[in-house]
Amino acid sequence: MSTKSITLSMPEELIRRAKVLAAERDMTVSSLVARLLQQFDGDGRDYDEVWDAERRLMDQGIGLRVGPITWSGHELHEL
């Protein structure tokens, strides 16, 4: 991917924190901002596509079973 330079204006404290975060992750501020923007934008999939995948997962479940429910809601609230 080709890159292009831009200029950002931010409060000095935010710039200082960005430099610290980038250094802690052994990266540049530019790569930190790029990564954060990519995360903000998601992986490029459209909202409807992601929601459809989530809906399928909720409908199908993931195979976890707790067992039979042996209590009532009333009993739970008495505790």
pLDDT computed for residue 64 by the predictor = 76
45 or 20, higher pLDDT: 20
- Confidence check: pLDDT of 30 > 90: yes
Mapped onto helix, strand or coil, the DSSP state of residue 11 is coil
Q: Where are the domains of the chain?
A: 12-61
Q: Are 54 and 45 in contact (CB under 8 A)?
A: no
Mean pLDDT of 29-41: 87
Q: Is this model's pTM higher than 0.75 or not?
A: no
Mean pLDDT of 6-31: 94
For the chain, the 3-state helix, strand and coil shares in percent, each to the nearest 5, are 60, 0, 40
**Tell me, what DSSP letter sits at residue 67?**
-
Cα atoms in the 13 Å half-sphere on the side-chain side of 51: 3
pLDDT computed for residue 75 by the predictor = 84
| 29-41 and 12-24 helices, crossing angle to 10° | 90
Q: What is the pLDDT of residues 41-77, one digit of tens each?
A: 766 667 788 888 889 888 887 777 778 888 888 888 8
